[in-house]
Amino acid sequence: MNYKFLVTGDIHLGRRTVHPSEEITDPDLSVSRSWQKLVDLAIEHEVEALLLTGDVIDKENAWFEALHRLSTGLEKLNEHRIRVYAVAGNHDALVLPQLSEMRDRLENFNLLGRGQYWEVVRHICRDGREIEIAGWSFDKEHTKVNPMAELNQEPSTSPALALLHTDLDGPSDSYYAPTTSRDLADSGWPVWLLGHIHKPEQRQTQSPLILYPGSPHALHANETGSHGPWLLQVNTEGVISTDQIPLSPIRYDEIEISLDGLQDADDWRSRFLTRVEEQAGHGNHSVNYRVIDLVCTGDPDLFETIEKHFQEDSEREISRSPSLYIRRLINRTGLPPADLDHLAGKKDLIGILATLLKDFDHPENNESLRELIQQTRLLKEKVMRYETFKPVLDVTDEETAGPVDAEEKIEELLREAVNEWLTELRKQEIESQK
């Protein structure tokens, strides 16, 4: 018998993705709409339970806005006998426990591990089989505690699942419940479902399975690629399959296009659309809008012509289905396409920057990058203590229409800076060789 679970995290109810074109006010860009679709998916697939890996709500200031939508969805799941197991993350550490106290209306909602203690419950499946589910929740916004130091119980059922919101393989003094892959492997639990990272990623496929489902709804331009919940199927032998179900109504991508060989500026459109189709893949029927950062390489003269064409914001939108919008043009013309693997092998500053750029997707592999990100976080936290900087820091991110997420913004700015330095150094190197 196979048992199905729908897994997601980092929903951040209370936020909304704002399309770069101010004329677009589609209600589907609201995270609450994606929550409704997620509930419908759980019912459609007749899952045993919906598993939430933290940051369901976007901080306390979004509580009243999110409460009705969240509780309505939970009630609908309850009508279909679908239980919900959740852990609290750093964003909803204070508000999610309040929801769990509404037992008279939300009897199917289970918050695991309140007070930063491990809790193991037995989920009874429709056929009577018991599956143990473990969880540990934040009880405040920041904690340097490694939750794995206190997990002393191994599962007594097969299958068994564990939920945790954590900074995996990050700095040991991280503010977000730091753990390591070795911690998870040594725990005895065969399946780890994690929150905190918005990018979907399977860190390990077995021994144990480690899955970051990521945000089901792309919230920011650096959350590229497909986003949606994951359908997890398990049986007594282990994990059968993990499949992402695309759900986000907006998709961000960075696409590289060479301008070499084009006859004029108009020819770039067909080449661009071909590259969009190649990168999008199939099965993204949920996407209404695609927002592209267009990286141009090749002929620098042609780039200047294209750039002038996009001086008007209206020219950046391409009418088709799904609607395409070019968020920005990135000039890397005059350079051959970047082979990061090749550049990372160089024993100079170019090699160092290329390695950093490669490792942004897997910062756990690069100690220098982890340290850089951590030091930048610490610097921001120190600056936030001074009232002088309040007017600068208390801003609204124009792309999310909500408070800027410190981690996302820091990593995005660092990535862009490394990209710009690498591009400039490559141009200088080519000039010196002429």
Tens of pLDDT, residue by residue over 169-218, are: 888 888 899 999 999 999 999 999 999 999 999 999 888 999 999 999 99
For 96-229, strand residue ranges (E) read: 109-111, 119-124, 130-136, 160-165, 167-168, 178-179, 191-195, 201-205, 209-212
Tens of pLDDT, residue by residue over 326-383, are: 888 888 887 766 777 888 888 888 888 888 877 776 665 566 777 777 777 677 666 6
Between 275 and 123, residue with greater pLDDT? 123
Residue closest to 50 by CA, chosen among 60, 36, 29, 63: 36
Sequence-distant (≥ 6) Cβ neighbours of residue 433 within 8 angstroms: none
Give the start-to-end residue ranges of the domains of the chain.
3-244, 250-333, 340-432
Query: How large a percentage of the chain has pLDDT more than 90?
Result: 39
Between 46 and 58, residue with greater pLDDT? 46
Q: Tell which CATH classification among 3.40.50.300, 3.40.250.10, 1.10.1240.10, 3.60.21.10 matches the domain 3-244.
A: 3.60.21.10
pLDDT recorded at residue 400? 35
Tens of pLDDT, residue by residue over 94-123, are: 888 887 777 666 789 999 999 999 999 999
CB 289 within 8 A of CB 24: yes
On the CB side of 183, CA atoms within 13 Å amount to 20
On the CB side of 248, CA atoms within 13 Å amount to 33
pLDDT recorded at residue 20? 66
CB 62 within 8 A of CB 99: no
User: pLDDT band at residue 394, thresholds of 50, 70 and 90?
Assistant: very low
| Rounded CA separation 196/213 (Å) | 10
User: pLDDT band at residue 399, thresholds of 50, 70 and 90?
Assistant: very low
| Rounded CA separation 84/110 (Å) | 6
**For residue 328, with 0-12 CB atoms within 10 Å meaning exposed, 13-18 middle and 19 or more buried, which class applies?**
middle
Instruction: Provide the token pair at 273.
Output: 């659309």
Tens of pLDDT, residue by residue over 297-311, are: 887 878 877 787 776
| Rounded CA separation 337/298 (Å) | 8
> Stretch 16-41: mean pLDDT, rounded?
80
CB 217 within 8 A of CB 289: no
Omega cis (within 30) before 190:
no
- Alpha helices (H) in 150-299, listed in sequence order: 181-186, 268-280
pLDDT recorded at residue 76? 95
User: pLDDT band at residue 17, thresholds of 50, 70 and 90?
Assistant: confident
What average pLDDT does the chain have?
83
pLDDT recorded at residue 402? 37
Pairing of strands 109-111, 83-86: parallel
Residue closest to 151 by CA, chosen among 170, 176, 173, 179: 179
DSSP class of residue 406 equals H
Residue 421 region, left (φ>0) first, then alpha (ψ -120 to 50), else beta? Answer: alpha
In the predicted structure, residue 139 carries a pLDDT above the cut 50: yes
pTM: 0.80
